[in-house]
Amino acid sequence: MPRLPFLSDPMIAVLVIATLLALLLPASGETRALVSLISNGGIFVLFLVNGMRLPRGEIARALANARYFGPLLAFVFGAMALAGLGLAAIGGALLPPLVALGFVYLGCLPSTVQSATSYTSLAGGNVALAVVGAALINIVGVFVSAPLFALLGGSGAGTIGSEAIMRIGLILVLPFVLGQIVQPLVIGQLAQHRARIAWLDRGVIGLAVYVAFSGAVEQGLAQMFAPRDWVVLVGLVLALLALALTAAWSLGGLIGLARPDRIAFVFAASQKSVAVGAPLAAILFPAASAGFIIAPLLLYHLAQLVIAVPLAARLAQG
């Protein structure tokens, strides 16, 4: 059985470094404007590459498996969004408002691709289904996550105006569509540079996290969070993850999925993507708000990696 200890995941190191750098040397003023511009450029390139590397034929085959993908879509963008809304209501009385709102944002995001696929493989699940399923969820998320958050998030940071819609279209949707157009011409070359593309993903995500937390630090992140707040935040994140895993596994059994498909379902349904969440937050929210809103997402991402290792090992044993 392949080893996949969560501490060996370079993404964790990138997130930790970006957060610490924002705490110690936050970007402010003209510097933050420049870093934000570079971050947006990186996000454009990242979604262009994402469009290039996913074959259209795989998307079509995935859509044909309605028994798997129908419930998966409903769980990721329905059940998880409502669960995030419920935890935001609970956290609203205990946490800073923007951090509580971050649970709604977390619930509206798509699932991961890389780690969901890796843990499905480790657990002996249907890897092909996991790859295409998580990729399809991410495509849908580009179009669904922002309006869903606007619907559930209410006023304030939850409002998405015409400017934000244009930014989403130009920085996320347009490059993905362009990537799909040229995908038959470049997919072979991309396969030869997977390691470099993986570091492109990490670098862009890390930069988006740095920009977001720089704004939060300037707004007094350290002063707004008492030790009790961290305990509450971690507790709510773990509660959401436990609920997601339990509900996803139960739903997979209820709809009659074979065990390998059920394993793929539980990881694709319960895990949330910082690869979409951090860049999207950089587009949707002002720098002063983004760091607070993505705090639950970053903790959830870390928790899902920590818990997925023993869970996958347990599932592999049958």
Domain edges within the chain = 6-316
Average pLDDT over residues 100-119: 85
pLDDT above 50 (res 6): no
**Between residues 159 and 166, the one the model is more confident about:** 166
- Residue 147 DSSP label: H
pLDDT above 50 (res 219): yes
Q: What confidence tens digit (pLDDT) does each residue in 262-271 have?
A: 999 999 999 8
Q: Dihedrals φ, ψ of 119, to 5°?
A: -75, -30
pLDDT above 60 (res 238): yes
* Whether the Cβ atoms of residue 187 and residue 197 lie closer than 8 Å to each other: no
Distance CA 76, CA 207 (A): 26
Q: What is the pLDDT of residue 43?
A: 77
% residues pLDDT > 90 (the chain): 21
Q: What is the pLDDT of residue 288?
A: 74
pLDDT above 60 (res 149): yes
Q: What is the pLDDT of residue 49?
A: 79
Q: What is the pLDDT of residue 2?
A: 46
Q: What is the pLDDT of residue 141?
A: 84
SS3 for 5? coil
Q: What is the pLDDT of residue 4?
A: 45
Number of Cβ atoms within 10 Å of the Cβ of 24: 8
Average pLDDT over residues 247-258: 94
Q: What is the pLDDT of residue 3?
A: 47
Summary mean pLDDT of the chain: 81
**Between residues 290 and 12, the one the model is more confident about:** 290
Place of tokens 């492109």: 200
Q: What is the pLDDT of residue 87?
A: 94
Q: What confidence tens digit (pLDDT) does each residue in 33-80 have?
A: 888 888 888 878 877 877 777 666 666 666 677 788 899 999 999 999
Dihedral sign, Cα of residue 29, residue 31, residue 37, residue 42: negative
1 pLDDT tier (thresholds 50, 70, 90) = very low
Q: Is 124 left (phi over 0), alpha (psi -120 to 50) or beta?
A: left
pTM over 0.85: no
Nearest CA to 154 out of 100, 224, 196, 74 is that of: 100
Name the H helices within 92-126.
97-108, 114-122
Contacts of 139 (CB under 8 A, 6+ apart): 54, 59, 176
Contacts of 96 (CB under 8 A, 6+ apart): 224, 225, 229, 292
102 pLDDT tier (thresholds 50, 70, 90) = very high
* Whether the Cβ atoms of residue 106 and residue 272 lie closer than 8 Å to each other: yes
CATH code, 6-316:
1.20.1530.20
pLDDT above 80 (res 243): yes
Question: Alpha carbon 309 to chain centroid distance?
Answer: 18
Q: What is the pLDDT of residue 285?
A: 83
Q: What confidence tens digit (pLDDT) does each residue in 22-37 have?
A: 888 888 778 878 888 8
Q: What is the pLDDT of residue 249?
A: 95
182 pLDDT tier (thresholds 50, 70, 90) = confident
Q: What is the pLDDT of residue 190?
A: 75
Dihedral sign, Cα of residue 281, residue 285, residue 291, residue 297: negative
* Whether the Cβ atoms of residue 243 and residue 108 lie closer than 8 Å to each other: no
